Amino acid sequence: MRAEVISVGTELLLGQIVDTNAAYLSRLLAELGIDLHNRSTVGDNFGRIVDAVRLALSRADLVITTGGLGPTEDDLTKEAAAEALGVEVVTDEDSARRIREFFAARGVQMPERSLKQALRPKDGRVLPNEVGTAPGAIFEKDGKTVITLPGPPAECIAMVDHAVAPYLREKTGGRGIIKSKVLRIAGLGESAVEERVRDLFGGRNPTVAPLAKAGEVHLRITAKAADPAEADRLTADVEAKLRERLGDLIYGVDDETLEHVVVHRLIELGLKLALAESCTGGLLSDRVTNVPGSSNTFLGGIVAYSNEAKTKFLGVPAGLIESRGAVSHEVAKAMASGARAATGADIGIGITGIAGPGGGTPAKPVGLVYIGLSTDGGESSHEYRFAGSRRDIKERGAQAALVLLRRQVEGVTGRGTGVGRG
């Protein structure tokens, strides 16, 4: 089977948004072994959407569109797909009812035009939207298929995962596949990671490709095989080599986040966590609480932005702040221990630093961050010098704290050099 992906939206052509949906769909098609030779992007223009769908149908059996399913006059994808395929659209009563209910549940009057979203191919299938109001649809005619999906990424991804992937999996059952596995590495910089594993990048099947993320490196292993078992065998071989080189620096696989790994380990160990944040401003608490079930380990966080808050909530002596400075090893440790003592947690983290853009001095420049760790075994503090914007420094700080926490709870020793230093 051969597919094409068409992204619809003038906002894409104006560069106002980056097209993450197309990448998501591309990954799915690769995993299913469906060839994808062309992707295209068009604006919210009926004639050009029809042309794009027709061209794609001339080269492929399956065309997936994203965008242009909303209630406005500019949303024309379903109508254009029907025109290109030569099929009729009718109002889907079930979708119309859902849309009415969506508004009713929110106590908002439904604009009449919202019902435009309930159009469906006469002989096709409706894909319910679990996140928003615009349903998707599957159009089929003469062995060709067009699937229309909504543009907002959360809606698109939910529909792909719950409806499109199962539909395509059934349609392609038994053919060759492409399977990827991502190894996630934290605590070692990109160049240092590549230094250790570069010779493994040359392979044809599986391939290994690095991708640098904020404070992490991801290595993607991609295998082509007749079936998942063969792909897994090919992947396991190169994965073993990568693990030999990188050891404990690999904290997780695929979509596992560092906070997920840390929170789950804390829960497993029955340990309680408390956080005291200054320069990261709540970002670390935010990441920890993104993990479902984090309330089983996370007792609370203090965003101690002022010196008074550090003293009042965390018991950091005002004299210590005065003598050492709010950004110091001593205050980071006192914050960590203060968070632990105030909540009765087993592990406390304290982060203090200068996120900028103002507030830096030659002795304590923007990007200087101290992270303190407190357990019943004692206190420690680590110094970091991060580069980048205010947001970059917040992100690097929160990431470094999670790396420290993981090392604490996994009993991982610092194998790499320059851990978290950049």
Q: Hey, which residues between 307 and 366 contact its own copies (CB under 8 A)?
A: 308-309, 312-313, 342-344, 355-358
Q: Does 42 bind its own copies (CB under 8 A)?
A: yes
Task: Please confirm whether the linkage preceding 357 is cis (ω < 30° from 0).
Answer: yes
Q: Which stretch binds its own copies (CB under 8 A): 72-80, 167-175, 327-335, 403-411?
A: 72-80
Interatomic CA distance for residues 70 and 403, integer angstroms: 42
Q: Does 293 bind its own copies (CB under 8 A)?
A: yes
Decide whether 280 or 374 has the Cβ nearer to its own copies.
280
**Piece in contact with its own copies (CB under 8 A), picked from 22-30, 118-126, 230-238, 240-248:** 22-30
Residues 249-278 that bind its own copies (CB under 8 A): 275, 277
Q: Find the binder of its own copies among 105, 229, 240, 363 (CB under 8 A).
A: 105
Stretch that binds its own copies, among 67-75, 84-92, 119-127, 231-239 (CB under 8 A): 67-75
User: What is the nearest approach in angstroms of its own copies to the Cβ of residue 408?
Assistant: 20
* Nearer residue to its own copies within complex by CB, 114 or 124: 114
289 lies in the binding site for its own copies (CB under 8 A): yes
Looking at residue 149, the DSSP 8-state letter turns out to be: E
- The one-letter code for the residue type at 400 is A
Could you say which residues in the range 163-182 bind its own copies, by CB under 8 A? 178, 180
In the chain the first and final C-alpha atoms are separated, in Å, by 45
- Work out how close the CB of 321 gets to its own copies at its nearest, in angstroms, rounded to a whole number: 14
Query: Which C-beta is closer to its own copies: that of 220 or that of 245?
Result: 220
Per-residue x/- track, 221-250, its own copies (CB under 8 A): -x----------------------------
CA distances from 155 to 132, 143, 152, 161, 302 (A): 6, 27, 5, 10, 34
Residue numbers 385-414 binding its own copies by CB under 8 A: 385, 387-392, 394
CB 395 within 8 A of CB 420: no
Cα separation, 240 vs 247, whole angstroms: 10
Residue 153 binds its own copies (CB under 8 A): no
Asked if 286 interacts with its own copies (CB under 8 A), we say yes
Tokens standing for residue 174: 């038994």
Q: Rule CB under 8 A: is residue 37 a binding residue for its own copies?
A: yes
Footprint on residues 181-200 left by its own copies (CB under 8 A): 189, 191-192, 194-195, 198
* CA 64 remoteness from chain centre: 22
Q: Give me the least distance between CB of 262 and its own copies, in Å please.
A: 15
CB of 320 to its own copies, least distance (A): 18
Structure tokens at 258: 């560092």
| C-beta separation of 49 from 77 below 8 A | yes
* Choices 90-98, 160-168, 225-233, 301-309 (CB under 8 A): range interacting with its own copies: 301-309
Identify the residue among 1, 2, 30, 167 touching its own copies (CB under 8 A).
30
Tokens of 85: 């395929």
Hey, how many other C-beta atoms are within 10 angstroms of the C-beta on 269? 13
Give the shortest CB-394-to-its own copies separation in angstroms.
7
- What angle do helix axes 390-410 and 258-269 make, rounded to 10 degrees? 30
Least Cβ distance, residue 263 to its own copies (angstroms): 12
Q: Which residues contact 39 (CB under 8 A, 6 or more apart)?
A: 4, 5, 6, 7, 22, 26
Looking at 204-212, 236-244, 262-270, 374-382, which segment touches its own copies (CB under 8 A)? 204-212
> What is the Cα–Cα distance from 36 to 25, expressed in whole angstroms?
10
Q: Which residues contact 49 (CB under 8 A, 6 or more apart)?
A: 6, 8, 42, 65, 68, 76, 77, 80, 81, 84
| Three-state DSSP state, 212 | strand
Q: How many residues bind its own copies (CB under 8 A)?
A: 110
Look up residue 170 and give its two tokens: 């059934």
Query: 409 CB contacts (<8 Å, ≥6 apart)?
Result: 262, 265, 266, 269, 271, 347
Least distance in angstroms from the C-beta of 106 to its own copies: 5
201 binds its own copies (CB under 8 A): yes
* Sites for its own copies among residues 109-148 (CB under 8 A): 110-111, 114, 131
| Nearest alpha-carbon partner for 301 in 327, 321, 266, 272 | 272
3-state secondary structure of 214: coil
Question: Least distance from C-beta 122 to its own copies, angstroms?
Answer: 27
Q: Which is nearer to its own copies, 121 or 396 (CB)?
A: 396
Overall residue count recorded for the chain in this entry:
422
